[in-house]
């Protein structure tokens, strides 16, 4: 199927071609670094993105995606979280099996699966995770105490995290973490004790800083997620 060119709709929804590769996407560990979260968050309504990946800044963003095959698809479409990088056939989205099925009208799922590639419209929406604050997961490749890598989970609102800094108590200054890849930020030789983080966020309020005091305990462990007690809206 030939993909249509960029066409704005009401200044915020865009048309692009959509591809579905269940055997590929469902097996991916995730270029965002989310791991299992990237497959199961949002009731497994997730997507791999290409253009919207934005060197990892697009990880965790939420979109409403609607299929344009009117006889097969619902009006509401599906709300997905971008949890991976994926591309194919000039598509913007590679949806999980569950998300792709949610595009279809009742009793039309198998017919839609037969297409494999469909035209869609989409718009970015605010992420909402009921009963969840932002969580900082210590990435499995971290090594206590000499190397800390974190992954930002349950990032609410319609925001992009542009930078992450750690408070260095002994020299009374903020030290920048490196974006290792996707939503993973790291630092060799992190401070001892409880770790306070702040995020530079770009969203509807412009460019702001959001601080999470004592977000990670002094005895942090690889693979464990810690509640930040803060959230973006």
Q: Under CATH, which architecture does the 8-125 domain have?
A: Beta Barrel (2.40)
Segments making up each domain of the chain, as ranges = 8-125, 135-227
Residues 6+ apart with CB under 8 A from 136: 150, 151, 152, 153, 197, 212, 215, 216, 225, 226, 228
87 C-beta neighbours (distance < 10 Å), count: 16
Answer positive or negative: Cα dihedral of 36, 210, 178, 146: negative
- pLDDT at residue 116, as a whole number: 81
Residue 15: per-residue pLDDT: 53
What top-level class would CATH report for the domain 135-227?
mainly beta
Fold agreement (8-125, 135-227)? no
Global pTM? 0.89
Nearest 5°: the CA angle 126, 202, 194 is 95
Question: How confident is the model at residue 86, as a pLDDT?
Answer: 86
Question: In b/e form, how buried is each residue of 32-71, taking b as 16+ CB within 10 angstroms?
Answer: bbbbebbbebbeebbbbbbebbeebbbbbbbbebbbebee
- Each of the 233 residues of the chain gets a pLDDT tens digit; together they read 233 333 334 434 555 556 654 444 443 458 999 999 999 999 999 999 999 999 999 999 999 999 999 999 999 999 999 999 988 767 789 999 999 999 999 999 999 999 888 889 999 999 999 999 999 999 999 999 999 999 999 999 999 999 999 999 999 999 999 999 999 999 999 999 999 999 999 998 899 999 999 999 999 999 999 999 999 98
Q: So what's the pLDDT on residue 188? A: 98
The Cα 86–Cα 147 span in angstroms is 29
3-state secondary structure the chain: CCCCCCCEECCCEEEEEEECCHHHHCCCCCCCCCCHHHHHHHHHCEEEECHHHHHHCCCCCEEEEEECCCCCECCCCEEEEEEEECCCCCCCEEECHHHHHHCECCCCHHHHHHHCEEEEEEEEECECCCCCCCEEEECCCCECCCEEEEEEECCCECCEEEEEEEEECCCCEEEECEEEECCEEEEECCCCCCEEEEEEEEECCEEEEEEEEEEECCCCCCCCEEECCCCCC
């Amino acid at each position: 199927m030939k993909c249509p060119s960029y066409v704005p709709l009401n200044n915020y929804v865009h048309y692009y071609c959509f591809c579905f590769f269940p055997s590929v996407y469902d097996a991916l560990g995730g270029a965002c670094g989310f791991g299992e979260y990237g497959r199961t968050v949002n009731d497994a309504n997730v997507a791999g993105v290409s253009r919207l990946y934005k060197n990892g800044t697009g990880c965790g963003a939420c979109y409403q995606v609607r299929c344009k095959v009117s006889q097969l698809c619902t009006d509401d479409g599906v709300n997905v979280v971008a949890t991976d990088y994926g591309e194919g056939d000039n598509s913007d989205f590679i949806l999980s099996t569950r998300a792709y099925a949610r595009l279809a009208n009742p009793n039309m799922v198998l017919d839609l699966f037969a297409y494999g590639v469909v035209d869609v419209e989409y718009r970015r929406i605010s992420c909402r995770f009921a009963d969840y604050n932002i969580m900082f997961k210590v990435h499995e490749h971290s090594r206590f105490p000499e190397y800390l890598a974190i992954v930002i989970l349950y990032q609410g609102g319609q925001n992009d995290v542009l930078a992450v800094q750690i408070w260095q108590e002994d020299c009374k200054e903020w030290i920048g973490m490196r974006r290792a890849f996707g939503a993973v930020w790291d630092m060799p030789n992190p401070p001892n004790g409880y770790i306070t983080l702040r995020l530079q966020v770009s969203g509807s309020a412009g460019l702001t800083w959001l601080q999470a005091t004592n977000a990670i305990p002094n005895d942090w462990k690889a693979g464990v997620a810690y509640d930040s007690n803060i959230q973006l809206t």
